[in-house]
Chain A
Amino acid sequence: MTEEQSHIISAIVEHKPGVLYSVANMFRRRGFNIESISVGPTEQSDLARMTMTVKGDERTIEQVIKQLNKLIDVIKVSRLNPASIVARELALIKVHALDTKARSDVINYADIFRARVVDVSSESLMVEITGDSDKIDAFLGLMKPFGVKEVARTGITALSRGAKSVKIEE
Chain B
Amino acid sequence: MVEMTGAQALIETLRRQKVEVIFGIPGGALIPIHDILRDSDIRHILVRHEQCAAHAADGYARASGRPGVCMATSGPGATNLVTGIANAYLDSSPVIALTGQVNTFSPNSSYMIGRDSFQEADTVGITIPITKHNYQVKEASEIPKTVKMAFHIATTGRPGPVLIDIPKNVQTESSEMEFPDDIEIRGYKPKTEPHPLQVKRAVELLLEAERPMVLAGGGVIISNASPELLALAEFLMMPVATTLMGKGCFPENHPLSMGDVGMHGTRVANKLILEADVLLAVGTRFSDRTVGNLDQFCPDAKIIHIDIDTAEIGKNVEVDIPIVADAKETLSVIYQLLVYQLKQKEKSPWFDRVQKLKEQLQDRIDLGGCDLNPPLLLSELGKILPDNTIVTTEVGQNQMWAALYLKRRKPRTFISSGGLGTMGFGFPAAIGAKVACPNCSVVDIAGDGSFIMTEQELGCSVMEKIPVTVVVMNNSMLGMVAQWQRLFYDRRYSAVELGNVPDFVKLAEAYGAEGVRVGSLKEFLKAIKEALKSEVTTVIDVPISPEENVFPMVPAGKGLKDVITG
Which of A's residues lie within 8 Å of B, judged by CB? 13-14, 18, 21-22, 25-26, 29, 59, 62-63, 66-67, 69-75, 168
> Are A21's CB and B187's CB within 8 A?
no
In the assembled complex, which residues on chain B have CB atoms less than 8 Å from the CB atom of A66? 310-311, 313, 315
> Among A13, A25, A63, A168, which residue has its beta carbon within 8 angstroms of that of B129?
A25
Of B129, B309, B311, B318, the most chain A CB neighbours within 10 A belong to: B311
4 tightest A-B contacts by CB? A66-B311, A75-B187, A72-B133, A72-B188
Query: Is there contact, CB below 8 Å, between B186 and A75?
Result: yes
Check B124–A72 contact: CB distance below 8 A.
Answer: no
Could you tell me the distance between the alpha carbons of A65 and B540 in the complex, rounded to whole angstroms? 50
In the complex the two chains form, is B128's CB within 8 Å of A21's CB? Answer: yes
By beta carbon, the residue of chain B nearest A67 is B311
Majority SS at the chain B contact face: loop
A63: chain B residues at CB < 8 Å are: 311, 314-315
Q: How many A-B residue pairs have CB under 8 A?
A: 40
With both chains docked as a complex, state the minimum distance between the C-beta of A144 and any C-beta of chain B, in angstroms. Answer: 40
CB nearest to B310 among chain A residues: A66
Q: Is the CB of B187 within 8 A of A71?
A: yes
Chain B residues near A29 (CB-CB < 8 A)? 129
Q: Enumerate B123-147 residues with CB–CB distance to A below 8 Å.
A: 124-125, 128-129, 132-133
Task: Say whether A59 contacts B187, CB under 8 Å.
Answer: no
Contacts of B188 in A (CB 8 A): 72
Which residue from chain A places its CB closest to the CB of B130 in the assembled complex?
A: A29
| 28 cross-chain CB contacts under 8 A | A21-B128, A22-B128, A25-B128, A29-B129, A59-B314, A59-B318, A62-B314, A63-B311, A63-B314, A63-B315, A66-B311, A66-B315, A67-B311, A69-B310, A69-B311, A70-B309, A70-B310, A70-B311, A71-B187, A72-B132, A72-B153, A72-B185, A72-B187, A72-B188, A73-B133, A73-B187, A74-B187, A75-B186
Within the assembled complex, what's the spacing in Å between the Cα atoms of A29 and B185?
25
Interface residues, chain B, with chain A CB atoms under 8 Å away: 124-125, 128-129, 132-133, 153, 185-188, 309-311, 313-315, 318
Residues on A with C-beta less than 8 A from B315 are 63, 66
B-side contacts of A71, CB under 8 Å: 187
Chain A residues, Cβ within 8 Å of B186: 75, 168
CA distance A67 to B310 in the complex (A): 9
A13 to B188, CA, bound (A): 12
Q: How far is the CB of B553 from chain A (nearest CB, A)?
A: 29
B129 to A, closest residue via Cβ: A29
Residues of chain B with a CB closer than 8 A to A26's CB: 129
CB proximity of A64 to chain B, nearest CB, Å = 10
Q: How far is the CB of B128 from chain A (nearest CB, A)?
A: 5
Given contacts A69-B310, A73-B133, A75-B186, 9 further A-B contacts (CB under 8 A): A18-B124, A22-B128, A29-B129, A59-B314, A62-B314, A66-B311, A70-B309, A70-B310, A70-B311
A69 vs B313: C-alpha distance when bound (angstroms): 13
Contact of A14 among B128, B129, B187, B309 (CB under 8 A): B187
Chain B minimum-CB-distance residue to A28: B129
The closest CB in chain A to the CB of B315 belongs to: A63
CA–CA, A121 and B124, complex, Å = 46
Q: Report the minimal beta-carbon distance from A126 to chain B, rounded to whole angstroms.
A: 35
User: In angstroms, how far is the closest chain B Cβ from the Cβ of A50?
Assistant: 13
Q: Chain A's nearest CB lies how many Å from the CB of B161?
A: 13
Contacts of A22 in B (CB 8 A): 128
Assembled-state Cα–Cα distance A21/B122 (Å): 13
Closest chain A residue to B185, Cβ basis: A72
Which B residues touch A70, using CB under 8 A? 309-311
How distant is the Cα of A30 from the Cα of B313 in the complex, in angstroms? 16
CA distance A75 to B186 in the complex (A): 6
Residue of B at shortest CB range from A168? B186
**Minimum CB distance partner of A18 in chain B:** B124
Contacting residues, chain B, for A69 (C-beta < 8 A): 310-311
Give B312's nearest chain A residue, CB to CB. A66
Residue of A at shortest CB range from B187? Answer: A75
In the complex, which residue of chain A has the Cβ closest to the Cβ of B318? A59
Q: Closest Cβ of chain B: how far from A67's Cβ, in Å?
A: 5
A70 → B minimal CB distance (Å): 5
User: Cβ of B125: which chain A residues have Cβ within 8 Å of it?
Assistant: 21
Q: Which residue of A lies closest to B158 (CB)?
A: A70
Distance of A75 Cα from B184 Cα, bound (Å): 12
Interface centre among B124, B132, B188, B313 (most CB of A within 10 A): B188
Chain A residue contacts of B310, Cβ below 8 A: 66, 69-70
Chain B CB count within 10 A is highest, among A26, A69, A72, A73, for A72
